[in-house]
Structures are given as C-alpha cells and as structure tokens.
Structure 1
Amino acid sequence: MTVSLGMKTTVVASSSAMAKEVLKTHDHILSGRNLIQAAKALSHYKTSIVFGQYGSHWRMLRRVSVNELFSVERLEALQHHRRDQVNRMIHQIFEDAVKGKCVDIGHAAFQSSFNLLGRMVFGKDVFDSQFARASQELKDALSKVMVLYATPNLADFFPCLQFLDPQGVYRNTEINFKKMYDVMDKFIEDRLVTRSGESRDRSYSEKDMLDVLLEKRSDEFTLDHIRGYLTDIFGAGSDTTATTIEWAMTELIRNPEKMKRVQAELEEVVGRERMVEESDTERLPYLRAVVKEVLRLHPAAPFLIPHRADNRCEIAGFVIPKHTQIIVNVWAIGRDASIWKEPLKFIPERFIDKETSGVDFKGQNFELIPFGAGRRMCVGLPLATRMVHLLLASLLHSFEWAPPQGISADQVDMSDRFGLTLVKAVPLEAIPTPRLSFEMY
C-alpha cells in the first residue's frame, strides 16, 4: 500500500512475496536511504553503514564488515571474549539468586551485550574501573540516541520545518553523538599510542576489531569513518540482542513446558558438569527453533530500516516513483495466517516440523527476515546469532526461571512499545534458581 507520511510518499510491503520484490528482485534500485534528521547530526550518516547511502564508500564498509570483522575466522578468534563475558553475567545472576533477588532480564542482557561488544572491539572490559566513567557515558548517550532515532519527528515528515527543529531531535542527537564520539576518540587515541612495535605485530587471534579497522585506514577510510562505524556496532548490536533475549525469556516463562524442553536438550548435550560453549549451540535444534520463533513473533526491528527508491521502478504493475520511502513490515509477515499456522501462538515446534524446518532468517526465506535481506541485510548477523544463542542457552542451562511472587506465568505482561526496536513496555523481571552445583558459578 501507499501512504503519505507528511510530505513523504511511503510504500509498505506487508507480504513475503512483496518483500522479495523489494529486497531481492529490485534490490539494486531500492537500496537507498531516506535520511532522518537524527542521522544527520554531526554528519553521522556519512560514516555510517546503517544510514549511509548506497555507493562505493558504503560497499567498502560492507566489504570490510563481511570479509574482516564478521568473518567466521574473526568471530572464532574472538570467541574467548564472548565466553568470558557470558560467564561473568552468569556469576552476577548467581549472586542475585543466592540473595533471592529478581533479575531484570533486559537490563542484564543489555549490560552483557554492551560489554561483550566492548571486549570484541577494544579488547578490554569497558566496565572495568579504569574505563567505568567513559563506558557509562557511552552507554547513556547510546540509549538516548536510540530513543531519538525512534521519535516521530515532524521535521522528517515536513522538511520545511527542519531549520526549526521543533522537537529538538536534531539538537539532542548532536549532543549525544558528541558524547559517544568523545569516548570513541579516547579509545582510538589510546590504541594509536600503543600501536607500535610488538603491539602492531600482534597475531591474528590477538587482534580485536579496532586493530582491524585501523589497519584498513586510508584517505577514503579515515579515523572519522572508524569512529562512526564503531558507533553503529554498539548501537545496532547491544539493543537488538538484549531485546531478543528479553522476549525469548518472556515467552519461555509464559510457556514453562517449552522451557523444560530446552533445558532437557541442554542437559543431554551439555550436561551439568560444565558451562555452555558456542560450539554446543549447533547441536541444540530446539533452542534454535525457539530463537526463530521469537524472531518471527517479536522482530527487533519490525519495519527494518526504511529503504529509498534511487530510481523509478515498477513492482506488481505499480510504479514506485524515485525517492519513495519503502518500508518492509516484517512484523506483519511474521504473523501472516496464510504462511503460519496459528500465527499468534508461540510454537517453536513449527521449526522442527519437516515442512518448515529448513526456514531460516539468513535472508533467503522471505517469510522470516528479521535481519532483512539483500544488500542492506544486517552485516552483523553472524555475530548476532552467536550472541543470542549463547546468552539464551547459558541463562537456561544455569538457572530455573519463574515470574515474581504473586504473578502466575500467564499473567506475565506481553505488551510492547514500538520504536526503532520493538521492546517490552514492562521490563521482564524473573526469579532465578541455580540448576548447577555452586562451584560451577
């Protein structure tokens, strides 16, 4: 359908067939971006892989992402950072469990995701006392920017109002970008000082993501580009992962028999004598089915990031004018009754059944595209899937989970709040009970 959002013509694709037309058949024409005012703050879009326009510079960023940062070899080399951070999260939850405290799942997952990214990018724990102030500033500024990105902004719908910035979105985004950039610059400057002699010649397995990016520095890929790219990694990686974990735990607490099935599978594959490893998740088909079902019902980005038609094209007999905004309604596709049986129910078994077991979210099955597809598909997908599966498996392997006292499983709040990501309106709090021997924690 076509809708007019202020002065912006927008076409919405709400079926898997139309999503395929947009993201595959006409992908070369519809890979542009309609820039929101927030992304223009401090010219962030010029260094961003998320908001940057499709072109030679964007293709270079994507090539570095796919071949260097998120390659199988790089992710394997950085696996120990993810394992260490997950173990720290489990230890912290164990301490809360011993004290009988409720755990805010979304907050715990965000903290862990954020610090996990910090260790992979900077090779250090960004929440250590040495970096505590800087990391807290980064996290706070990032949270505010994500809210500003999601704010319906009159200046985006009516460009004539841009110079007024009536809601202060541009102004406030600029303030918080400046805070994030200052933190990034500090980490980058520290690394440049130490990048000499032995530190420059570190082995492949010792190099973090910042090392890789600095090695790619050139006239076309400057320190400004590196700073903007790192900002994207933290913005896109921490919030979406935490949101997915929180929805997964919500659905499993509401469906305790399905939680038991995941835990039985973990007991068979992992046992109770060690912690979960990333390599285990490939042998956990029901856990992977749970993640797919969560992404179907609760896609982190329900409309993806809107595309833009860089030229006129025709889809299904209709003309799409140049500069039309294109929205793919992933949320509606995931609940399409013509594709999914009982689409509103949480049924991970649907991805175990023979006829749908091959459906995956890697951009080839357009009935399940929470990460998008085509040129603009999320470049961090390989990392995101590792993080989500490892975090969720570790939470379920290490603890039993129950809603707070006085609340039954079917009373757990399921309302959501729409923004750039689809978050729970009421944060999930749950009571953990250790499942393993205490020395394991």
Structure 2
Amino acid sequence: MGWSFSLFPWLAALSALFLLTKFLLKSRKPYSKLLPPGPPALPLVGNIFDLGEIPHQTFYQLQAKYGPVIWLKLGAVNTMVVQSAETATELFKKCDLPFADRKAPDSLTALDYHQGSVAIGAYREYWRTLRRICMTEFLVHKRVDASIPIRRNCLEKTIKWIKEDVEKSKKNGGSGEIQLDRFLFLNSFNIIGNLMLSREVMESKLDKAGEFFDAFVLFLEWCGKPNMADSFQFLKWADPQRIRKNTEKYLERLLGFASEIVKERIQEKQSGKVKERNDFLDALLDEEDDIKAEGADKLSVKNVTIVLLEMFFGGTETTSGTIEWGMAELLRHPSSMKKIQEEIDRVVGRSRMVEESDLNKLPYLQATVKEILRLYPPLQMLLPRKAMEDTEFMGYVVPKNTQILVNAWAIHRDPAAWSDPLSFKPERFLESDIDYKGQHFQMIPFGSGRRSCLGMTLGHRMVCLSLATLVHAFEWKLGDGLTPETLDMKEMVGLTLRKKVPLKVIPTPRE
C-alpha cells in the first residue's frame, strides 16, 4: 500500500504542520541552488504523495526526467536518491564514510530495537565492535567453509519434507501442490540456527515453524509501510498509523523466541555444563563484558538477543525470498531450467546430491544466480544512510542529516550499464567478470562499503546450493492452473523484495 490515507485523520495533523511552514522551508534555502534536481515539493508534505504504490519503481521512472540523482522532501526530511551505476560508484568510492550513518525508521525504534542492531545501528564505536564480532566469529570464509555439512544436512531434510508434503496432498486427493516459500524459509532458518546455535531450531516440519514464519512476515510488512512519523518528527509520539505499535506486537513475539534461546545458553554456562562448541552465541556472550556501549557498561543480554534475532532476519528472509524469485523465473523460462539440470547432471550425476565443492564447476548455475540477484536484489533499496556532515556529491551539496536512499533495483536496471536490462538473461554473465561483492557498482545486491551486508558470502552460497539442489532433485510445474505467461510476478511493498503472490508449485522427484 502506498501513500493513500483516509483524509479525516490527517486534517488536524496537517493544520499543525502549516504552523511550521516557515521553519521547514527555511531549512532548504541555504542549499537550494546546489541541491540535486527533483519533482516540485508541496508545502509541508513535500514529495510524500509522489512516492506512488511501489516507491523504488516510482524513483526509477522519475530518473527519465530528473536524472540519476534525485532530491525529495519527504515531509521535513531531506532525501537524496541514488540510482545509477555511475552515481553508486561516486557514493561508495568517495562518500562512503560521510554517508556511513543510519537513519532508523520509527517502526524499528519499537522496544529499542535500533539500539542493539547491527543493520540499522548508528555509526559509532559500539556498532564497529559488533560488526567486528559478526565478521570474525560468524561470517568469515573459514567458518562458512566449516559449516558445509550443516547446509547439506538441512537441504536433505528440506527435500524430504517436500516429498512428504507432496505425498500427503496426493493421498488427500490433491495435485501435490505446495507453497514453496515456507519450505525455503524453514530451510534457511535451520541453516542459520545451526551456524549460530550449534543445533536445529525448528526440528519438526512446517506446523511448528508456521507461527514464527507468520509473525516474521507480518513484522516485515509493517516495517516496510510508508510512515508519516518518519517524515514529521513531532508525529512520532502519536504513531498515527499505528505502525510502531503493530511492529512492536510482532517484534515482541520474535524477540521472545530469541530470548528463550539466550536465557537457556546463559543458564547452561552458569551451571558449568558447557558443551564442546564455539558458535556465534557463545562468542557474543563471551564478548559481553568487553563492549562499551553508549549509555551502558556492557553489551546487554537484551542487545545480544537483538543481534541474534537480526542474524536470523538477515539469513532467512533475504535468502529464501531470492530463491523463490529464482524458481519463479526458471519456471517462466523452462529452457534455462533445463540448462541448469543438464549441467548438474553432467557434473554431479544422478546418484548423489549437489555438494558445495561442485558449485565452481557449474558456470551456468552461477550465472543464473547472478542474474536473479541483479533483477531481484534482496533489499530493493539498501537500508537508508544518513549524511554525517555537509558533503559534496556529484557537484551538489548534500546537507548534514540528509537521508540517502540507494535504489539497487534501479541501478541493476541501468541501461547505461546493462544491455536489455529488463530481461532475464543468465547468459550475460557467462563471459563477464561482474560480481556481487560490492566492487562492481552496477551490481550491488548486498550493498558496498562500510554498511555492506555482513552475510554476502554465506547468503550467496545458500542461494546457489539451494537452487541447484531443488532443480536437481525435482521436475517442477506451476500450480494453481498457471502458465509461464500468467504467473504473477508483482512485488510486495515491504522492507525486503518479496513476491506479492507466493509461488505455488507441483514438484515431482526426478528418478
């Protein structure tokens, strides 16, 4: 849902806003001749109603008129949108540090989530220490390599659960149709749980994971809703759209889940019955006394819980969503599906599962995953940055505290960087060295620089291995009576890039 609201609840707020007109307009005057171009802003509300139903697509369309750097006034918030390969290069090479701060959305101030977050935490010593722990204890190549058996085991179970669900459907007179996203979520969730906690979190099938999955999806939906409180500081106390309240409701459930895990581990450590392991949660608890947070003497148990939950967020939703988009595109392009199957059959054969050691021998699979990440970056707009000081950018002056939006979705469709950018063509990467790691700025699915995604190596491997395993293990047909031409590929507005209509498919084991 975009910026469309019933009129009456906003009359009082808009009346109050008119009292602030001079103040709001005055804040722009010193820079007015040096700011980037953008659509004319209405008094008070600015460009809020220019955002449309799906903002990242609206920004992409505005580029034809205003260019790749666009200036917006979202209420009282100065905002700059960057959405071409050239401007992304300038940002990450020259302005990474002055634009390294975050602007936490009001929804994620619920339960003080932003205070303990790595993803949206302010750029300060506490954040730098947390990032170091995450990089050295969880996401380094050595630890990712050591966790190969975990991913293989989780995928084996996922394949088994898919087969069982198909058989159950057929026994009940159904077609064997399944909703794929729940299996993908459960698979990713168990992989991340094993890495962080040295055990499976969801050991059974979908019934026990369903409550967490549903709360997680609703949490992300509320986080991604356009929020007037983000545009007008004085509305934060009122939370007029109840976005923070609803986010808090689902976040409380999710934090409760993570909190039980943390409490269990603390009790275990206090009892002296510590098992032989060295996982991410142990590393966080061991570092607890060494971190000096602003306003606190240590990394609190609450913040440990937030970081733990955030690792689940980052490793499950984005990964499972990317795989779902990939399967949808392969079902729309059966020739690409067939090429992957033939490549895997040639390298792996039919008598065993795909191993991670096989992935480098599967160039067409690798090219397909890059093309999926190009068209469907996990976060269509990277998490908002904030200018820490007045900064020159592309010949413009960007005032301090300006919100910086990097439209990865648009950058990946930049016609100056990509030929036929709107088409799904894995072949474009077969003879190309363009990668996803943040050094080729025409393709930044995981961001770049200081605020790049911590889990890009792990996430890429999970997508490659999961996609290869699914295509190798099953023949796939669309459910719901759909055809490649009628499959709904609409996007849902939210924090991450999700399919609006979940993918329903009929898998048949390949004999």
**TM-score using structure 2 length:** 0.80
Partner of 1:55: 124
Give structure 1 stretches of 5+ with no counterpart: 437-441
CA contact (8 A) 2:225 2:493 kept: no
Aligned position for 1:433: 508
SS, match of residue 404 in structure 2: strand
Distance 2:329 2:485 in 1: 10
Q: 1:59 to 1:373 in 2, by over 3 A?
A: same
Give the aligned partner of residue 83 of structure 1.
152
Distance 1:299 1:73 in 2: 26
Which runs of structure 2 are paired with 1:308-323 in the superposition (5 Å)?
Answer: 308-323=386-401
The farther-off stretch of 212-221 and 294-303 is 212-221
What corresponds to 2:195 in structure 1? Answer: 120
Partner secondary structure for residue 266 of structure 1: helix
* 1:186-205 equivalences in 2 (<5 Å): 186-195=260-269, 200=274, 202=276
Q: 2:118 aligned with 1:43, yes or no?
A: no
The amino acid of 1:432's aligned partner reads P
Alignment of 1:276-315 (within 5 A): 276-315=354-393
Higher RCO structure, 1 or 2 (CA under 8 Å, sep 6+): 1
Q: 2:269 & 2:213 partners in 1: Cα distance?
A: 26
Q: Is the 8 A contact 1:117 1:237 kept in 2?
A: yes
| Letter of the 1:292 counterpart | K
| 1:419 CA displacement | 1.7
2:180 to 67, 80, 105: 105
Counterpart residue number, 1:211:
282
Aligned to 1:363: 438
Q: Aligned equivalents of 1:24 and 1:75: distance in 2?
A: 28
Paired AA for residue 86 in structure 2: A
Separation in 2, partners of 1:65, 1:179:
24
For residue 395 of structure 1, what is the aligned residue in structure 2?
A: 470
Q: Structure 2 CA distance, aligned partners of 1:419 and 1:80?
A: 33
Decide whether aligned partners of structure 1 residues 40 and 196 sit closer, same or farther in structure 2, where only a CA change above 3 A counts: closer
- TM-score of the pair, normalised by structure 1: 0.92
Q: In the alignment, is the contact (CA less than 8 A) between 2:182 and 2:206 conserved in 1?
A: no
Cα offset for 1:190?
Answer: 1.2
1:326 equivalent in alignment to 2:401: no
Q: Alignment RMSD, CA only?
A: 2.0
Secondary structure of 2:405's partner?
Answer: strand
Deviation at 1:137, TM superposition (A): 5.0
User: What is aligned with 1:175?
Assistant: 249
Larger radius of gyration: 2
Matched, 1:151 2:225: yes
SS of residue matched to 2:283: helix
Letter in structure 2 aligned against 1:213: L
Give the secondary structure class of the aligned counterpart of 1:195: helix
SS in 1 for 2:80: strand
Structure 1 position 39, deviation (Å): 1.5
For 1:130 and 1:251, how far apart are their aligned partners in 2? 27
Displacement after TM superposition at 1:281 (Å): 1.4
1:72 deviates by 1.5
CA-CA distance at 1:73 after TM superposition: 1.8
Bigger CA drift: 358-367 or 399-408?
A: 399-408
Change (3 A) 1:195 1:252: same
Q: 1:384 aligns with which of 442, 448, 459?
A: 459
Distance in structure 1 (CA, Å) of the matches to 2:93 and 2:218: 34
d(CA) in 2 for partners of 1:93, 1:18? 44
- The farther-off stretch of 101-110 and 292-301 is 101-110
User: What is the CA–CA distance in structure 2 between the aligned matches of 1:405 and 1:170, rounded to whole Å?
Assistant: 36
Q: How far off its partner does 1:279 sit?
A: 1.8
Residue 160 of structure 1 is matched in structure 2 by: 234
Corresponding residue for residue 20 of structure 1: 89
TM-superposed deviation, 1:405: 6.6
The answer (yes or no) to whether the contact 2:353–2:469 under 8 Å persists in 1 is yes
Change (3 A) 1:199 1:269: farther
Aligned to 2:43: none
- The reply on whether 1:29 has 2:29 as its aligned counterpart is no
Alignment match, 1:339: 417
Judging changes above 3 Å, is the alpha-carbon distance between structure 1 residues 405 and 47 closer, same or farther for their aligned structure 2 residues? closer
Question: Is 1:242 aligned to residue 320 of structure 2?
Answer: yes
Q: Could you tell me which residue of structure 1 aligns to residue 330 of structure 2?
A: 252
Identity across matched positions, percent = 39
Distance 1:243 1:324 in 2: 30
In structure 1, the partner of 2:165 is: 96
Aligned partners of 1:248 and 1:291 also within 8 Å? yes
Q: Tell me, what secondary structure is at the counterpart of 2:378?
A: coil
Unmatched runs of 5 consecutive residues or more in structure 2? 1-69, 292-298
Distance 1:71 1:198, change over 3 A: farther
Partner residue, 2:59: none
1:420 aligns with 2:475: no
Q: Residue 101 of structure 2: SS of its match in structure 1?
A: coil
Residue 6 of structure 1: aligned partner: 75
Q: Deviations over 1:118-153 (max 9, x none)?
A: 2222222222369986x6554443322211210111
Conserved? CA contact 2:446–2:456, under 8 Å: yes
Distance 1:147 1:415 in 2: 15
- Give the AA of the match of 1:106: D
**Which amino acid in the other structure matches residue 56 of structure 1?**
E
Q: Distance in 2 between matches of 1:300 and 1:340?
A: 19
Who is 1:439 aligned against? none
Any conservation in 2 of the 1:114–1:238 contact (CA below 8 Å)? yes
- How far the C-alpha of 1:423 sits from its partner, in A, is 1.3
Q: Give the SS at the match of 2:220.
A: helix
Change (3 A) 1:122 1:329: same
Equivalence for 2:11: none
- 8 Å CA contact retained: 1:24, 1:373: no
